[in-house]
């Protein structure tokens, strides 16, 4: 399968929106555009898109994180490949980008959080060297 990987551009907001919706996260094109602007400006963030014939078919959003309670790590904040393009090497290539980012920054670990219901994604991560470290609850408090 022929596809290219490249850094995201602000003009990719429509395609990124579609890919986020593919994961079940609806958003507006304006909000996605604002997020892309922030990602592009910050060195601790990196987003790579997979493109085939001028269509975005996948993306990975990575964040370099630091915490007192753990070593530095690259977190995969989001990974999405359109259903019709799965099992064609795109996800594997995107995951490899997280390893590249970690190596560039001298970081030893890559981490991803995944909803417990995404069993196929869990199998994919395990096939690519990830192991399940723990199961946890997520709590949210709305501020406004």
- Tell me whether residue 144 is in a domain: no
DSSP-derived pairing of the beta strands 4-7 and 45-52: antiparallel
Assigned domain for 39 exists: yes
Q: Within a domain: residue 54?
A: yes
pLDDT averaged over consecutive 10-residue blocks of the chain (144 residues)? 92 94 88 94 96 95 89 94 93 96 94 90 94 90 94
The total of structural domains in the chain comes to 1
* Placement of tokens 């996605």 in the chain: 32
pLDDT for 1 equals 63
Q: Is residue 142 domain-resident?
A: no
Q: What's this model's pTM, rounded to 2 decimal places? A: 0.91
CA 108/CA 71 separation, integer angstroms: 8
Domain assignment of residue 99, yes or no: yes
Cα 10 to Cα 107: distance, rounded to the nearest angstrom = 27
Is 134 within a domain?
A: no
Please report whether residue 141 resides in a domain.
Answer: no
Dist CA 7 CA 107 (whole Å): 20
Q: Determine the length of the chain.
A: 144
Give the containing element (helix H, strand E) for 84.
Answer: none
7 phi, psi to nearest 5 deg: -65, 145
pLDDT at 67: 83
β-strand partners of 112: 76
Q: Which domain holds residue 34?
A: 4-127
Residue 51: which CATH number? 3.40.630.30
Domain contains 114: yes
């Amino acid at each position: 399968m022929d596809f290219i990987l490249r850094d995201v551009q602000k003009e990719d907001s429509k395609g990124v929106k579609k890919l986020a919706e593919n994961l079940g996260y609806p958003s507006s094109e304006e909000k996605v555009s604002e997020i892309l602007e922030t990602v592009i400006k910050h060195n601790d963030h990196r987003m790579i898109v997979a493109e085939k014939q001028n269509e975005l078919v996948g993306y990975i959003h990575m964040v370099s994180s630091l915490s007192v309670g753990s070593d530095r790590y690259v977190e995969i904040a989001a990974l999405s490949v359109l259903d019709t393009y799965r099992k064609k090497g795109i996800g594997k290539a995107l995951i490899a980008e997280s390893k590249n980012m970690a190596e560039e920054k001298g970081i030893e670990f890559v981490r991803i959080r995944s909803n417990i219901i995404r069993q196929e994604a869990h199998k994919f991560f395990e096939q690519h060297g990830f192991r399940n470290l723990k199961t946890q609850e997520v709590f949210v408090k709305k501020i406004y």
